[in-house]
């Protein structure tokens, strides 16, 4: 082999290596999206984001993981076992503070914000036969409050406490995901389910079409006692079959959260593609109608990821 040919082959090999390097880096851009139970709102939103990111972020490989939602998601992010998670605002606040009582053994200092998304409405559905219409009516009933130490369960504890009640006032407490709670109600083994989710959550739609239910009212004074991040809200008439009137309740905003070890470019693209593809999210679930660029930073409980911050500066949301 001539020296000239050898030099040419080496040059080709070097060029191929340089060309392959960006592809290898892109292939390592893995985005695991942490959601919640498959019958809630987090999951379809996560699936839609996964599809968007897989198609719009060059070289990204995406995955959706069903979890016990907020508390588990935030702990997994701290451990580097996910790149993006949906979580309730109060859970994010407790995670940043390291509130041990609700499942955070130390402050989760790696958490970084991407965006505020849509509010979770606290929706308490009681079987028609048990006749519960108010929080006081829940005394003595059997109620599922969501998976233990989930964001939903934290909401349940807070709301009952604001109403001067506790789990001791209930006849029986179950710690179950949404779908399992509904199945027990269908089988007349449970009176009430409390679900923290977007309006029109699939589990309660399923329940309402199978049997008469009452949506239990949570009055505005409970929201006042709870304070931020809770706000007074309304479940509009017709949200569920047989619901003929508006029902007062409380809501708390959900956030998309990442962690500090995610690259700036990945966080930037996750934020950018979120807002540039909102119609796809709305198609996945109507709760996404509440997502807006203008409200993206409202009440953010943790520091922004630098990649998200770059996007918001470009968009004129930050100076």
Confidence of residue 149 (pLDDT cuts 50, 70, 90): confident
> Domains of the chain: which residue ranges?
29-118+254-314, 120-252
The domain defined by 120-252 folds into D-Maltodextrin-Binding Protein; domain 2 (3.40.190)
DSSP string covering 265-287: HHHHHHHHHHHHTHHHHHHH-GG
CA distance readout (Å), 99 to 9, 106, 166: 61, 7, 20
Taking only the tens place, the pLDDT of each residue in 52-95 is 999 999 999 999 999 999 999 999 999 999 999 999 999 999 99
Report the pLDDT value the prediction gives residue 45, as an integer from 0 to 100. 97
Q: What is the pLDDT of residue 8?
A: 44
Euclidean distance between CA atoms 31 and 232, whole angstroms: 35
> Nearest to residue 235, comparing CAs of 211, 221, 218?
218
Residues 254-304: pLDDT tens digits? Answer: 999 999 999 999 999 999 999 999 999 999 999 999 999 999 998 899 999
Give, to the nearest 10 degrees, the angle between helix 306-314 and helix 264-276: 50
Q: Does position 123 have pLDDT exceeding 70, yes or no?
A: yes
pLDDT of 35-63, one tens digit each?
998 988 999 999 999 999 999 999 999 99
Strands 192-197 and 247-259, sheet pairing:
unpaired
Among 4-18, 85-99, 177-191, name the one with the lowest average pLDDT. Answer: 4-18
Residue 239 burial (10 A CB sphere; 0-12, 13-18, 19+): buried
Is residue 104 classed as helix, strand or coil in its secondary structure? coil
Mean residue pLDDT across the chain: 91
Whether 34 shows a pLDDT value over 90: the answer reads: yes
Q: Once rounded to an integer, what is the mean pLDDT over residues 196-221?
A: 94
Domains 29-118+254-314 and 120-252 share a fold: yes
Token pair of 208, please?
């309402």
Q: Would you state the pLDDT for residue 253?
A: 92
For residues 123 and 240, the answer to whether their CB atoms sit within 8 Å is no
- Average pLDDT rounded to a whole number, residues 301-311: 97
Over residues 170-190, mean pLDDT: 96
Cα-based torsion angle of the residue sequence 200, 202, 206, 208 in order, rounded to the nearest 10 degrees:
-20
- What is the predicted pLDDT for the residue at 22? 42
> CATH code for 29-118+254-314?
3.40.190.10
Distance separating alpha carbons of residues 134 and 165, to the nearest angstrom: 12
């Amino acid at each position: 082999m001539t020296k000239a040919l050898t030099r040419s082959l080496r040059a080709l090999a070097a060029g191929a290596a340089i060309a392959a390097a960006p592809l290898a880096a892109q292939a390592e851009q893995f985005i695991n999206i942490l959601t919640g139970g498959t019958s809630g709102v987090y999951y379809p939103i996560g699936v839609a984001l996964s599809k968007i990111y897989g198609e719009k972020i060059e070289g990204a490989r995406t995955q959706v993981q069903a979890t016990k939602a907020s508390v588990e998601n935030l702990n997994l992010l701290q451990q580097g076992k996910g790149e993006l998670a949906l979580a309730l605002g109060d859970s994010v606040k407790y995670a940043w503070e390291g509130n041990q009582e609700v499942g955070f053994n130390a402050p989760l200092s790696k958490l970084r914000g991407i965006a505020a998304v849509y509010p979770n409405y606290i929706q308490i559905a009681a079987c028609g036969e048990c006749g519960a219409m108010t929080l006081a009516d829940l005394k003595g009933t059997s109620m599922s409050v969501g998976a233990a130490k989930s964001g939903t369960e934290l909401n349940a504890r807070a709301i009952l406490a604001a109403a001067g009640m506790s789990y001791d006032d209930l006849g029986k407490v179950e710690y179950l995901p949404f779908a399992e709670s509904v199945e027990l109600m269908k089988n007349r083994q449970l009176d009430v389910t409390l679900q923290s989710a977007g309006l029109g959550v699939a589990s309660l739609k399923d329940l309402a079409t199978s049997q008469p239910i009452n949506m239990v009212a949570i009055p505005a004074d409970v929201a006042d006692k709870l304070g931020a991040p809770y706000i007074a809200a309304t479940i509009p008439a017709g949200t569920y079959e047989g619901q003929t009137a508006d029902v007062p309740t409380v809501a708390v905003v959900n956030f998309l959260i990442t962690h500090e070890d995610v690259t700036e470019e990945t966080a930037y693209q996750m934020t950018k593609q979120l807002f540039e593809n909102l119609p796809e999210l709305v198609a996945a679930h109507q709760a996404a109608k509440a997502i807006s660029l203008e409200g993206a930073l409202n009440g953010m409980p943790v520091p922004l990821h630098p990649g998200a911050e770059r996007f918001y500066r470009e968009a004129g949301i930050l100076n």
